Amino acid sequence: MAQIPIVHNLHQEFVLYVSIVDTENTMDEVCQTAAQLSIGFEKNQQPDVPLRVRKVGAEKPFPRDMTVEEAGITPMTSLELFYEAAESASPEPRP
């Protein structure tokens, strides 16, 4: 159990943030932490659609109940947080 910084890109935000998460946090908890930071989040939120997390450059998101440690997320890893429904809008070219 340790706190580590992550870099995250929240769906439709304008700036990348650095947040501190716990290695025991699940992906859903990571999303919750990140979402609280976003200025534009109220406008962008989609209450009925879960946010998902994936590494920048990866195609598939991590399972929602997977922990940061289990996902192999190391300090300053860059993550994308996106709504599943909005995946087609993702900027990252998929491998």
Partner 1 sequence: MALLDRADWYDIARNTNWTPKYVSEDVLFPEEQSGALGLPLEVWESYDEPYKVTYREYVRTQREKDAGVYSVKAALQRANFLDQAEPGWVSILKLHYGAFATLEAMASSAESRMARFGKAGGMRNMATFGSLDENRHGQIQLYFPHEHVHRSRQFDWATKSMHTNEWAVVAARHLFDDIMAGRDAVGVALMLTFAFETGFSNLQFLGLAADAAQAGDISFSNLASSIQTDEARHAQIGGPAMKILIENGKKAEAQRLVDIAIWRAWTLFATVTGPSMDYYTPLDRREKSFKEFMQEWVFGQFERTLLDIGLERPWYWDTMLADLDTRHHGMHAGIWTFHKSVWWDVPPGISRAERAWLEEKYPGWEETWGAHFWDPIIARFLKDGPVDTVLPSMVQLCNMAQVPITGTPGWTPGKTGRPLRDFPLEHEGRLYHFGSEVDRWIFQQDPDRYKDHLSVADRMVAGMIQPPTLEGLLDYFSLKEGEWGEDALGHRWLEEYRQEQAQAA
CB 10 within 8 A of CB 34: yes
**With contacts defined by CB under 8 A, how many residues of the chain interact with partner 1?**
33
CB of 42 to partner 1, least distance (A): 5
For residue 12, give the amino acid letter: Q
Residues within window 32-91 making contact with partner 1, judged by CB under 8 A? 36-44, 56, 74-78, 80, 86, 88-91
Nearer of residues 28 and 45 to partner 1, judged by Cβ: 45
Structure tokens at 93: 């070219």
Binding of residue 23 to partner 1 (CB under 8 A):
no
Least separation, in Å, of the C-beta of 16 and partner 1?
4
Task: Let me know: does 11 contact 83? Beta carbons within 8 Å.
Answer: yes
Name every residue whose Cβ is closer than 8 Å to that of residue 38 and which is 6 or more positions away in sequence: 10, 13, 17, 44
Phi first, then psi: give them for residue 30, nearest 5 degrees.
-60, -45
Of 65 and 76, the one with the shorter C-beta distance to partner 1 is 76
Q: Quick one: tokens of 20?
A: 């501190």
Contact footprint for partner 1 (CB under 8 A): 5, 7, 9, 12-19, 36-44, 56, 74-78, 80, 86, 88-92
